[in-house]
A and B are shown apart, each in its own frame.
Chain A
Amino acid sequence: MKAGFRQSMAWLHTWSGLVVGWLLFAIFLTGTVSYFRPEISLWMRPELQQAAPGTRATEVVIAEMQRRAPAAPSWIILMPSERNPVASAFWRDPTATPRGFRQAQLDPRTGGDLAARATAGGDFFYAFHFQLFGLPIPIARWIVSFCAMVMLVSIVSGIVTHRRIFADFFTFRPRKGQRSWLDGHAALATLALPYHLMITYTGLVTLIALTMPWPILTNFEGNRAAYTAAVFGIDEAVPRAGVATPLTPVTPLVAEAKARWHGGEIGRVLVTNPGDSTATITFQQQDSDRVSVSRRTIIFNGTTGAVIATREPDGPADATRGVMYGLHVGRFGGGVMRALFFLSALMGSAMVATGTILWAVKRRQKSGAGAGTRLVEILNVGAIAGLPAAMAIYLLANRLLPVEMAGRITWEVYCFFIAWAVLLLHPLFRSHRRAWQEQLWLGAVLQVAVPVVNVVATPGSALAATLPAWRWDIAGIDLACLAFAVLLGGCACMVGREAAAPRQRRGAVQSAAAE
């Protein structure tokens, strides 16, 4: 019975992994780089790199918004932080096309506009990793949740299959074909196993109100707004009274918030009905100084400055949700912790990649090169080696497309997808080894090209300028590209060596397979 259980789990692990492997790799890798979303965004907007948060940002930005949009129903302002020196303001304006919204990037020291090239920045990778691209958002999120669910099942069945977890930790037999892929896959999986379980489960939890809404139906009689208000502290809008009343000075409110939060910084400001007697000012705390993202919130009366309500995470389940979400997005703990999460996530990506490669290697050994095996091999190359190359293209497009180009944001994204599509088709016309080698080398060259093109296109944000200024947030992107280039080049060399001596290896592979 015990052997039967392990066998059925091995079957489940093999096939569940394959079904979602390619999409999962893309979700994992774009999610991995999203730990540095603000840094990527700043790298992609070199015009903003000299901005600084300033000390009176809240006062400055609210004063500026009173000039710009005194009659807007509400302003939402994302305050600057140490990772993002810009304040972003959003407000409703019926004359704005196409969606009735305006937004501005404000200098938190002066309130003036900060003009930067149009780009989606790191938000593109971030959004792709949980809602893909071009699909209706709920459908895309369902697809991603499905992939994550299969991932969870793969992890659990994988643990059962490779129960020698401690031994796998230290086992690697290089240059032994299938055996090496298996060892590599198991080592990557076990090294960061707690991380893989955590990131998959917490990822599912972030989309849970969409995929498992039934408790909202039973506990809130299906009133989603009531649930949102209770969990996220967002209340429904109150209509204007029509009595013009000036907004209260903000400085005492800022002091009050900081005192209540023991020095915690303001992350988000919401002002409703500014200039009216019904105005409210809401501060939400920044979430970079603790694990949980459950937002501590203070709501002030906008004309008297009196505290109307506060919201703290209320029960253990709410606190748990906040911690799960916080662990997933990894905004706490500073750069070193984030770098460790980044490395764990890279191992997760590599685990998925080696898993799909192992499937094809094993299959070819057992039943030769059938159409199914060949299809998997073709998809493996484009999905795994093609993606980092396309991601480099996205960064390169940011520097090479004209700054004044119309539809620039969209074209950066199109460049990414065109490159990826070409690389998905390319293995159709090449031998399997050739396809791997060419795409890995191409990826390495493109990654090297990122810091090089940066020197030519925007010298002010290149390594020669950012390293002496200790701007690790910006230099880190260039350095990471170089590291990725080394990694991809190393993989390409590995494939090359394998091709150089296939004969002598065959015997070793067969004895390993017989084990």
Chain B
Amino acid sequence: MEARRIGGIVSRCVAAILGGYAVAALSSIALARLGSRVEGALIGMMASYAIYTAAVIWVFAASSALRAWVGLAIAAGVFGGAFWLLGVA
């Protein structure tokens, strides 16, 4: 029981720190497509930490570690897809 609890916490910490960073990084390059070269890059970079914070809060608010990871995967998919679609367009 104790091992499971600790495993859940470790899993969430990894999800928050690395998974959250990955989502923030994907959001930054997706948003960077929205403006000119300079403006877009700055928008993407400056907004990324708000996204990162939201991702971390989500990870620790989710009812299980698995749900936390699934939520991050969906967000990563959305931002990655947006990056790709905006690149094509």
Contact = CB atoms under 8 A, between A and B. Distances in A.
Given A12-B60, A218-B32, A220-B37, A321 B42 contact: yes
Interface stretch (A151-159, A254-262, A362-370, A481-489): A151-159
Interface in B9-65: 24-25, 28-29, 31-33, 35-46, 48-50, 52-53, 56-57, 60-61, 63
Contact of A4 (B29, B56, B63): B63
Interface stretch (A102-110, A187-195, A207-215): A207-215
A5 B32 CA distance: 33
A236 interface: no
The 7 closest A-B pairs by CB, nearest first: A215-B32, A215-B44, A317-B42, A215-B41, A315-B39, A317-B39, A219-B41
A425 B38 CA distance: 49
A149 B60 CA distance: 15
B53 A156 contact: yes
Of listed A5, A11, A216, A217, residue having the most chain B CB within 10 A: A216
B41 A205 contact: no
A8 B38 contact: no
Given A208-B48, A317-B39, 7 more contacts: A156-B57, A208-B45, A214-B28, A215-B41, A218-B29, A315-B36, A315-B38
A201 interface: yes
14 contacts: A4-B63, A11-B60, A149-B53, A153-B57, A208-B45, A208-B49, A212-B28, A212-B44, A218-B32, A230-B38, A314-B39, A315-B35, A315-B38, A321-B42
A403 to B, nearest CB: 45
A93 interface: no
B57 A219 contact: no
Given A4-B63, A11-B60, A219 B37 contact: yes
A324 B31 CA distance: 19
A23 to B, nearest CB: 16
A245 interface: no
Contacts of B35: 315, 317
Nearest to B34: A317
A149 B52 contact: yes
Interface in A262-320: 314-318, 320
Contacts of A215: 28-29, 31-32, 40-42, 44-45
A149 B49 contact: yes
Interface residues of B, number: 30
Contacts of B61: 5, 8-9
Contact of B38 (A201, A217, A314): A314
Contacts of A318: 38-39, 42
Nearest to A13: B60
B68 to A, nearest CB: 11
Contacts of A204: 49
Interface in A1-51: 4-5, 8-9, 11-12
B45 A231 contact: no
A90 interface: no
A216 B33 CA distance: 11
A5 B46 CA distance: 28
Contacts of B24: 212
A152 B49 contact: yes
Nearest to B38: A230
Given A8-B61, A220-B37, A230-B37, A212 B42 contact: no
A317 B33 CA distance: 13
Contacts of B45: 205, 208-209, 212, 215-216
A320 B46 contact: yes
Interface in A148-191: 149, 152-153, 156-157
Contacts of A219: 32, 37-38, 40-41
A8 B43 CA distance: 31
B38 to A, nearest CB: 5
A227 interface: yes
Contacts of A216: 41, 45
A201 B51 CA distance: 12
Contacts of A153: 53, 56-57
B43 to A, nearest CB: 5
Contacts of B32: 214-215, 218-219
A317 B52 CA distance: 19
Nearest to B53: A152
Interface string A303-346: 00000000000111110110010000000000000000000000
A4 B38 CA distance: 42
A4 B60 CA distance: 11
Nearest to B32: A215
Given A317-B43, A318-B42, A8 B29 contact: no
Contacts of B52: 149
Of listed A5, A149, A217, A230, residue having the most chain B CB within 10 A: A149
Contacts of A231: 38, 42
Nearest to B49: A204
B42 A320 contact: yes
Of listed B31, B45, B57, residue having the most chain A CB within 10 A: B45
Given A11-B60, A316-B39, A318-B39, A201 B29 contact: no
